[in-house]
Amino acid sequence: MTLQVELLEESFEKIKPRADEFATRFYGYLFGDYPEAQPLFANTNMEEQKNKLFKSLVLVVNNLRKPNELTNPLKGLGARHVQYGALPQHYPMVGKSLLKAFEAILKDDWTPEVKQAWIDAYAAITKLMLEGADYPEEIYRM
């Protein structure tokens, strides 16, 4: 899959000055649309979590032109998510909520091309995180 690096970079530059609003919206959509995800964050400091989440997106976008740099960090992130209780089934929920937050902030700049670029990027991120996660195969059939 070839990622649309320029579209991802340009659209993310517009999100950066509104990082906190973006992250607040993201978790608002995640917990509103998928209440089953909320208990995983029961003991989480959400202000810190918003920063961590955003920083991980910055890392991804900063390394789109050298994607090999992303393989190990994203596999490691996926491995840690097993401990956090994240299951493969949760990844589409996070993806949908991220896209919704992008759309809310980018408005007219959220074109079909930009949307597709982020769908592809999220699929690539998920693939690496799940490769690092090493779930038993039954979990994918649940």
CA angle 43, 45, 51 (to 5 degrees): 140
d(Cα 136, Cα 64) in Å, to the nearest integer?
30
- In 3D space, the residue among 57, 68, 71 whose CA is nearest the CA of residue 12 turns out to be 57
Task: Choose, by CB under 6 A, the member of 10, 13, 47, 52 that binds ligand HEM.
Answer: 52
**Number of residues in the chain:** 142
Q: Using CB under 6 A, which residues numbered 70 to 89 contact ligand HEM?
A: 77, 80-81, 84-86
Does 91 bind ligand HEM (CB under 6 A)? Our answer is yes
Of 104, 29, 5, 18, the C-alpha closest to 54 is 18
Residue 142 touches ligand HEM, criterion: CB under 6 A: no
Q: Which amino acid is at 134?
A: D
Among 18, 19, 21, 41, binds ligand HEM (CB under 6 A): 41
Stretch that binds ligand HEM, among 15-23, 52-60, 65-73, 103-111 (CB under 6 A): 52-60
Which residues of the chain form contacts with ligand HEM (CB under 6 A)? 37, 40-41, 43-44, 49, 52-53, 56, 77, 80-81, 84-86, 90-91, 94, 125
